[in-house]
Structures are given as structure tokens and as C-alpha cells.
Amino acid sequence: MVVDDDQDLAEMLGIVLTSSGFDVDLVSRGDEALEVFRNNPPDLVLLDVMLPGIDGIEVCRLIRQESMVPIVMLSAKGETQDIVRGLEAGADDYMQKPFRDKAELIARIRTRLRRTNADVTGLLTIGDLSIDVTAHEVHRGSTVIQLTRLEFDLLVALAKDPGRVFTRDALLSEVWGYRHSTDTRLVNVHVQRLRSKVEHDPEHPEIVMTVRGVGYKAGGPA
Amino acid sequence: MRGIRRALAQSLATKVILSTVLLSLGVISLAGSALNSRLSDGLRSAAFNSAISESKYTFFDAEYKLAISRDSTVDERKKILADIIVNATTQVVKEARREVIFLRVPRAVKPSISYEMASSFVRPKNIPANLRIEVAKSAQPQDMYTNIQDSAGYSREVLIVGKRISIPSGGPYEMYIVFSLQDQTTTLQLIRNSLLITGSVLLILIALITYLVVRQVVSPVREAARIAMQFTQGDFSQRMKIESQDEISILANSYNEMALSIEQQITRLENLSRVQQRFVSDVSHELRTPLTTLRMASEVIYNQRATFEPVVARSSELLFAQIERFERLLEDLLEVSRFDAEVAVLEPIDFDVINLVKRCVTDFELGEVDTQSGIRVESDSTSVLIKADVRRVERIMRNLLSNALDHADGKEIIVTVVATDSEVGIGVRDFGSGLDESALIRVFDRFWRADPSRARVRGGTGLGLSIALEDARLHNGELDAWGRPGKGAHFVLTLPRIAGESINGRPIKVTPKDFHEDIFYQ
């Protein structure tokens, strides 16, 4: 599903995505997006920030309330606060217009759609969490913790190699599929969000731990 | 002493009070001493006049009594003399005020009977010899101020009036009346003390009054200074209070008008800047969306170029390349206007700068298949952690490397990283065409190119170095350039280890180590 108020751009995205083998729904208004989303649940949402009706960040929040579908924000502004707001509203990734190239867009979409960590199966433990990779579920005791697909991927990426320190760049390439980028805000915001869901006390994380000046690592099993 | 001088230099109030007190001290002591001398002169002359007239009467009385005693016996005459003494000395209450003495004129023929006689507290030796000579010479009364020792040994000031009189059957005698000036001296002392006390009290009061008056003037001035200081520190709402119609209020009024006008100007400029910021943001959105469509459309066309006629195929390549260039230019322009609007924000994180440099270099080496320039990274350390905006530092590195590759003429490029405790320096040295003096001044100017005729290998926007400089300064860092025609160029980035702290030196000197000025051959 592509939500963008610029009809020409939406159409162009449609052409590009269709030619790469995706089925595309085009929506041009923020207030229509949710309806289309419910009627025909997509595998992924490309969402512009500036939309008539309700803005993209709000749309993102609303979709996130009812679905864990991957959301990629499209931003023309590139100002930090917009990006961070979008990510905090639940977006998995964002792309700044104009896109670096078509291949990059397609690559990012494929990364978001692909089952990452396909090589990992079975049960992983990290702290007092148990991760059922096959069933795509995270448990703490008997409680199921709801994670978006990206948050799940991030957690699995860290958990499958406990103790290894991942740099932000490494996580970017592993989880987001970036070939090179220095935009580590993406990682920071998602780690914060993941912590708010899985940590007992997000101020003193025990599961996703910061290694100052380097990156993050998974905490050991409890 | 230094403390006083500093207080004088720093405080108007101290200065005014001190000078007022000093001047008043002068005036009061002048007036006091004038008053003192007038009073003592007056007292003296009053005492003198009364003593003279009194003594005239006493002399007359004595002469008369002696004259009529012509027929008396010696004892009777002695009795008369004693009476005269008693009369004269008891005229007033205080015994000590008058003393009378009769002395025989010296060198007169010594008679058989001596009538020398004195009241209780005076001795013949108390009468000064020169007064006696005067008295002996003249028929008129003579007077003299002198000091005599009293029985207790104290020196007292006295006025002595003497006259020659004759005692029947006794010959010429001198009669002296000694007036004590003790009362007068006491009074004068009292006056002097009163003057001194009054003067001191007056002086203290003057100091106090000056202080109060000065405070009235100085405290509005201090207040004005305080308000101006706060204004300087950015609190533009500060105004001076106007409580009266005096000169201070005129000052306050004009100050307030100035403050208002400055505040309005600033608000106007802030609004302008906000409008500009808004414009930048709008332009960014408005241009980027169509550019995205253009970009994707051109990419679709470009990917199909193999099926086009050669002319159309070439055109699609040009279209594709130029859209890309246009995009870079737009990004750079937006970045520059962000700096101009002062809305660029630093987002520092901890990272390893050597890692970053190596990655940039690798990226360039992978991307630049058409260049022969190798890039060598030299550093003593394997890892240098800094806290900075990694996106900006990477952009600086890319701009410097891209610039160096453009001008290296295929020769090697050396990147050095040197870290100290508080700074890190990154030098990018090329050995290509170099820069002359005039170029060095302009190298950071926007859209300036070292050699306009040069092919734009990497299609730089002409804004790269200018943005790099702004990025460096945003970190409180510096970007220096060195160059000599034909000897290459050297760009040195100096950043504080923690963004925002100040840099105290340059870990890498901008003049490269390998370069020595050929002064001997010039």
C-alpha cells in the first residue's frame, strides 16, 4: 500500500513497484488510508509524512494500534524531529525523498518483507525472555509480548549471538538491510522502543544493553 | 593602598564622598582657626583693657593714699601699703586673680627703711628685668605679658602692669599688679575644644549627607548598568523604571526607547529568519517530491536505454546524470540555508573516528574506479573515540576526500589522524595542482572553484568545502587549508574530542611535514 498525496509520485511508485513484482494500492489521503488498510490488509505500508486529512505520523500510530505490519515512512523534510516522531509513532524505517535510487527503495522493501534470520530456528533465551523464532513469538513467563516484525528481528539479531557487541552500523545492515548509512538514529529509536516493551526498567536495561561508544549487545540468560 | 585606589577607580560614590570630606575638612579647619584666633584676640584685648583701667585706678588710689600719708609713721605707712595690697587683691572673688608687689627702684639711694612688700603668691624674681627697666624709665604705667611659675610649679600666663610711685620717706618705688590670665586661657581652651568637636561632628555629618546624596544619583546609574547588562545577555524585556522627571529619568527614557527599538529590530529579524526557515522547509518539501518522481521516472527510462535509438539513449543518460546532480545541489543548498538560518543542530554520539575515516576511504576507493589516486591512511592509534555528529563528520570527510581526488592529478593522497587528549586532527594531503595564496583565501567560498576551466570530475556542487567548514565550526572545531601551486594542498580538520568544547591547539599543523619552504633557492 502506498499512501502519498502527490498523485504523480504515487503513480510512479506504483509503476516501479509493480514492475518489481508487487501489487500496489494507491491512497492519496490520510483519512482514507485506514479504511483501505482494513479492507485489503497489505504486507507493507509506504507512508508519506505530509498528507491531507490526517498526517502520516497519525496514520502510522493508528495502523500500529491494530497491526504489526511493516511501515516505511517517506519524508521530504529530512529534519531530525520529523524522522524521530515518525519512528516513535511506530514506523520501522524511513526513506528520505528523493530516494537514493530505485534499487535502494526496492531493497529496503524486500528486507522489510523478507523473513529475516531465516537461518535461525527454535527457541532463544535472553534475560528472562524466551523467543520462539519459528512461531514469531516472545514470552516472558506465560505472557506474550507483542512486538512489531522489526522489533522482533532486532531482538533476534541480538539474541542469536549473545554477548557479541553489534555496532549500530552492523545492526543497520543486518536488520534494516542498509548497505551503508550513518543514520544511527534509526537504531537508537528502535532500541528505545524495544526496551520500553521488553525491559522491566527501560532506564536500566538488562536485555538490550548499551556498549558505550560501540553499540549494543544482548544481556546473558537470567 | 592598592585597595583604596581600586575602590576609588571602581566606585563613583567612594570618590565623591572622599573628595567632599577632604574639601570640607579644609574649609572647616580654615573657618575654625579663623574663629579661634578672632575669639582669643577679642578675649585678650578685653582682659587687657579691663586690666589697664583697673590698674590705673589702683595706681591712682595707691598714690593718693601714700600722698596723704606724708605725716604718718613708718608702721602706719606699711599698714597703708598692706591695705592697698589687700584692697587690690580682694577686689574680685578669686584670690588668685590679682597679685600686687612693691619693689624699690634699683640703684636708687638705699634708704634705711624698706617698704618692699608683696601679696602672697608673687615674688620679686617674677617681675621680668626688662619690664622693671621700662617702669623705672617712664612715669607712665608699663605692661607686659609673661609666664610665672606658681607655687605648684605650673607655668601661668600673666599680665603685669607696673608704675613708678614714690613712697614718702621711702623714695622711688615700683608698684606691679599681676593679672592672672588663667580664666582667659581656660575659656580659650574650651572654645578650641568646642570648635574641634563641632568640626569633627560636622565632617561626619557632611560625609553622611554626601553618601545619601550620591546614592540618590549613583543607585539609578547602577540600576541602569544592571539592566543594560541583562539586556546584553539577551533579556530584551528589561526596562528602566521612571519614577521622576529628573535627568536620570531622561536617561531612563532614552534608554528604554533604545531598548524598545532594539527589541523590535530583533523581533523583526527573528520573524524574517522564521519566514526564511519556513521557506527553506517548504522549498525542501515542494522540490523533493517532484524530484523523487523525476528521479524514478528517469531511472525507469535509463534502465530501458538499451532498447532506444542511440540519440535517445544518450539523452536518457544525460537526463539521469543531471537529475542526480540537481539532487545533490538541492541537498547542499538546503544544508547551506540551514546554516544561514542557524537551525543546524548538532547530534553528537560516541564513535570511533579512525573507523569512520577508513570506511569513507574504502567507499571512495570502491566508487572511484576511474582514478589512479591511492588513498593511504596514517595514524599512530588504532581507535580514537570522539563525541561528535557522525553524519556531519562523515560529510566533512567525504567533501575533503572528494576535493582531494578532484585535484590530486592521479597522485597519492595521504590521510593522517592525530589525537590528543582534547582534540583530534584529520589531515588530507594531496600532491596535485595545489593552491596559490589568493586561492587559499577563497577556497571556502560558496561556488568558488580553484580552476574554472577544470573538468568537474566528480561533479561537485561547489558548496562542499563551505559546508565542511560550517560543519566543523558547528562542533567548535576548525578547518584549515594550506596549498602551494604545484605542491599540492593540505586540508586539516580539527575537532574537540567532545563536540562543543573548545580546541586549544592543532594536533596537525596545516603546513605539511613533508614540505619545506625553499627559501634558499628563491
- The burial class, CB within 10 Å (0-12 / 13-18 / 19+), for B269 is exposed
* CB B395, CB B328: distance < 8 Å: no
Beta bridge partners of A3: A27, A47
Query: How much of chain B is helix, strand and coil, in % rounded to 5?
Result: 55, 15, 30
pLDDT over 90 for what percent of chain A?
A: 0
Distance, CA of A65 to CA of B498 (rounded, Å):
40
> Coil, strand, or helix at residue A216?
strand
Q: Chain A partners of B365 at a C-beta cutoff of 8 Å?
A: none
pLDDT surpassing 50 at residue B315: yes
Q: Residue B521 — very low, low, confident or very high, per pLDDT cuts 50/70/90?
A: very low
Q: Residue B368 — very low, low, confident or very high, per pLDDT cuts 50/70/90?
A: low
φ and ψ at B426, to 5 degrees? -125, 120
Point out the residue among A16, A80, A212 whose CB comes nearest to the CB of B296. A16
Average pLDDT over residues A48-52: 83
Distance (Å) from the alpha carbon of B508 to chain A's nearest alpha carbon: 24
Top-confidence range, A26-40, A114-128, B267-281, B340-354? A26-40
Average pLDDT over residues B291-311: 88
φ and ψ at B272, to 5 degrees? -55, -45
Average pLDDT over residues A161-190: 76
A101 contacts B299? CB cut-off 8 A: yes
pLDDT for position A100: 66
Distance (Å) from the alpha carbon of A95 to chain B's nearest alpha carbon: 11
Average pLDDT over residues B489-494: 91
Identify the DSSP state of A221. Answer: B
pLDDT for position B292: 85
Q: How many CB atoms lie within 10 A of CB B51?
A: 21
**A220 close to B (CB below 8 A):** no
φ and ψ at A126, to 5 degrees? -150, 120
Q: Residue B95 — very low, low, confident or very high, per pLDDT cuts 50/70/90?
A: very low
Continuous segment of H or E residues that includes residue B291: helix B247-303
The per-residue pLDDT for range B216-247, each reduced to its tens digit, is 878 877 888 888 888 888 787 878 777 777 77
Distance, CA of B175 to CA of B162 (rounded, Å):
6
Point out the residue among A12, A101, A182 whose CB comes nearest to the CB of B297. A12
pLDDT for position A221: 56
pLDDT for position B517: 61
Q: Chain B partners of A16 at a C-beta cutoff of 8 Å?
A: 296, 299-300
**B352 close to A (CB below 8 A):** yes
**B394 close to A (CB below 8 A):** yes
- The burial class, CB within 10 Å (0-12 / 13-18 / 19+), for B446 is middle
Distance, CA of B426 to CA of B507 (rounded, Å):
9
Distance (Å) from the alpha carbon of B387 to chain A's nearest alpha carbon: 8
pLDDT surpassing 70 at residue B350: yes
A12 contacts B296? CB cut-off 8 A: yes
In chain A, where are the structural domains located?
2-113, 123-218
Q: Chain A partners of B390 at a C-beta cutoff of 8 Å?
A: 182, 184
Q: Residue B54 — very low, low, confident or very high, per pLDDT cuts 50/70/90?
A: confident
DSSP letters, B98-140, are: EEEEEEEPTTS---SS---EE-TT--GGGS-HHHHHHHHH-SS
**B11 close to A (CB below 8 A):** no
Q: Chain A partners of B299 at a C-beta cutoff of 8 Å?
A: 16, 101-102
pLDDT for position B459: 59
Q: Chain B partners of A182 at a C-beta cutoff of 8 Å?
A: 356, 390-391, 394
> Distance of CA B451 to CAs B86, B321, B442, B447, Å?
131, 23, 12, 12
Average pLDDT over residues B187-192: 87
B292 contacts A9? CB cut-off 8 A: yes
**A19 close to B (CB below 8 A):** yes
pLDDT surpassing 50 at residue B90: yes
B292 contacts A97? CB cut-off 8 A: yes
**Integer distance in angstroms from the first to the last C-alpha of chain B?**
60
* CB A188, CB A216: distance < 8 Å: no
> Coil, strand, or helix at residue A207?
coil
**B390 close to A (CB below 8 A):** yes
Mean pLDDT of chain B: 83
Mean pLDDT of chain A: 81
Distance (Å) from the alpha carbon of B242 to chain A's nearest alpha carbon: 45
Report domain A123-218's class: mainly alpha
Q: Residue B22 — very low, low, confident or very high, per pLDDT cuts 50/70/90?
A: very high
**B293 close to A (CB below 8 A):** yes
Of A70-79, A176-185, B129-138, B428-437, the one with minimum mean pLDDT is A176-185
* CB A218, CB A210: distance < 8 Å: no
Closest chain A residue to the Cα of B293, Cα to Cα: A9
- Contacts (Cβ under 8 Å, ≥6 apart) of B496: B422, B423, B475, B476, B477, B502, B503
> Distance of CA B57 to CAs B52, B67, B173, B177, B179, Å?
9, 15, 17, 11, 14
Give the residue ranges of DSSP H helices in A3-148: 7-19, 30-39, 56-66, 80-88, 102-113
pLDDT for position B365: 79
pLDDT surpassing 50 at residue B44: yes
B363 contacts A185? CB cut-off 8 A: no
Average pLDDT over residues A145-172: 82
Q: Extract the C-alpha cell encoding A74.
A: 517517506
Point out the residue among B284, B294, B297 whose CB comes nearest to the CB of A77. B284
* CB B65, CB B138: distance < 8 Å: no
pLDDT over 70 for what percent of chain B?
A: 91
Q: Residue B496 — very low, low, confident or very high, per pLDDT cuts 50/70/90?
A: very high
Q: Which amino acid is at B94?
A: K
pTM of the model: 0.55
A213 contacts B350? CB cut-off 8 A: yes
Average pLDDT over residues B351-378: 80
B291 contacts A97? CB cut-off 8 A: yes
Q: Residue B332 — very low, low, confident or very high, per pLDDT cuts 50/70/90?
A: confident
Q: What domains can be seen in chain B, in order of their start residue?
A: 7-188 (3.30.450.20), 248-340 (1.10.287.130), 349-516 (3.30.565.10)
* CB B461, CB B329: distance < 8 Å: yes
pLDDT for position B371: 61
The complex scores an ipTM of: 0.71
Distance, CA of B390 to CA of A186 (rounded, Å):
14
* 88-117 of B, contacting A, C-beta below 8 A: none
**Integer distance in angstroms from the first to the last C-alpha of chain A?**
41
Of A27-31, B241-245, B419-423, the one with minimum mean pLDDT is B241-245
**A99 close to B (CB below 8 A):** yes
A98 contacts B292? CB cut-off 8 A: yes
Q: Extract the C-alpha cell encoding B251.
A: 536617561
Of B124-128, B199-203, B276-280, the one with minimum mean pLDDT is B276-280
- Contacts (Cβ under 8 Å, ≥6 apart) of B249: B242, B243
A98 contacts B291? CB cut-off 8 A: yes
Q: At what angle do helices B182-232 and B247-303 cross, to 10 degrees?
A: 20
pLDDT over 90 for what percent of chain B?
A: 11
pLDDT for position B111: 66
Closest chain B residue to the Cα of A185, Cα to Cα: B347
B293 contacts A12? CB cut-off 8 A: yes
**B215 close to A (CB below 8 A):** no
A184 contacts B349? CB cut-off 8 A: yes
The per-residue pLDDT for range A141-158, each reduced to its tens digit, is 788 888 888 888 888 888
CATH superfamily of A2-113: Response regulator (3.40.50.2300)
Distance, CA of B220 to CA of B217 (rounded, Å):
6
Average pLDDT over residues A94-115: 77
**A9 close to B (CB below 8 A):** yes
Query: Cα torsion at A122, A179, A183, A185 (round to 10°)?
Result: -10
* CB A3, CB A59: distance < 8 Å: yes
Give the angle subtended at the CA of B320 by the CAs of B316 and B326, to the nearest 5°. Answer: 140
**B300 close to A (CB below 8 A):** yes
Q: Residue B416 — very low, low, confident or very high, per pLDDT cuts 50/70/90?
A: very high
Average pLDDT over residues B480-485: 88
Q: Residue B339 — very low, low, confident or very high, per pLDDT cuts 50/70/90?
A: confident
Q: Residue A119 — very low, low, confident or very high, per pLDDT cuts 50/70/90?
A: low
**A8 close to B (CB below 8 A):** yes
Per CATH, A2-113 and A123-218 having the same topology is answered no
Distance, CA of A41 to CA of A36 (rounded, Å):
8
> Distance of CA A77 to CAs A51, A95, A96, B327, B446, Å?
13, 10, 7, 14, 23
B300-332 burial code (b ≥16 CB/10 A, e <16): ebbeebeeeeeeebeebeebbeebbebbbebbb
